[in-house]
Amino acid sequence: MPASPMESRMARLEGAYEQVSQRLMNIDPRLDGFDRKIDLRFDALDKKIDALEAKLDKKIDALEAKLDKKIDALEVQFDQKIDALEVKLDQKIDALEVKLDKKIDALEVKLDSKIDALDKKVDQRFMWTVGLMITTWLTTIASIYLHH
């Protein structure tokens, strides 16, 4: 019985399906192999990244320690400079205090001498005033006594 054109086409399709199925079956193990390779590469990459991260952490810690040391050294230098400036400032303040005390003492001497001179003038004028008052009283008493 001759095969109809439909049956021959169907047979060809079935043969093509079978070939595709065999090829797909051959592809599955290959894809599994690729999956394993990719997984291994990702694992290796993760390990490399972890190793690099550990290296970077160590370097960062070392740099942080260096910076801490430098900051501490700068802090010591800063404290020393401030202490030196405080000493200089104290010395200048002491020198100014001595100068000020000398000037105050000189002004006190001047003021004392002026006050003494003023006291003498007041005493002298007071004596003149008392002398005039006594003279005026004596003159008044004498004129009253002599007038009677």
pLDDT digits (tens, 9 = 90+) for 83-94: 999 999 999 999
The answer to pTM > 0.85 is no
pLDDT digits (tens, 9 = 90+) for 1-35: 456 888 888 888 888 878 888 887 888 888 888 88
| 11 contacts: CB under 8 Å, gap ≥ 6 | 3
Nearest alpha-carbon partner for 12 in 24, 1, 2, 20: 20
Q: Is the pLDDT of residue 51 over 90?
A: yes
The per-residue pLDDT of the chain, averaged, comes to 91
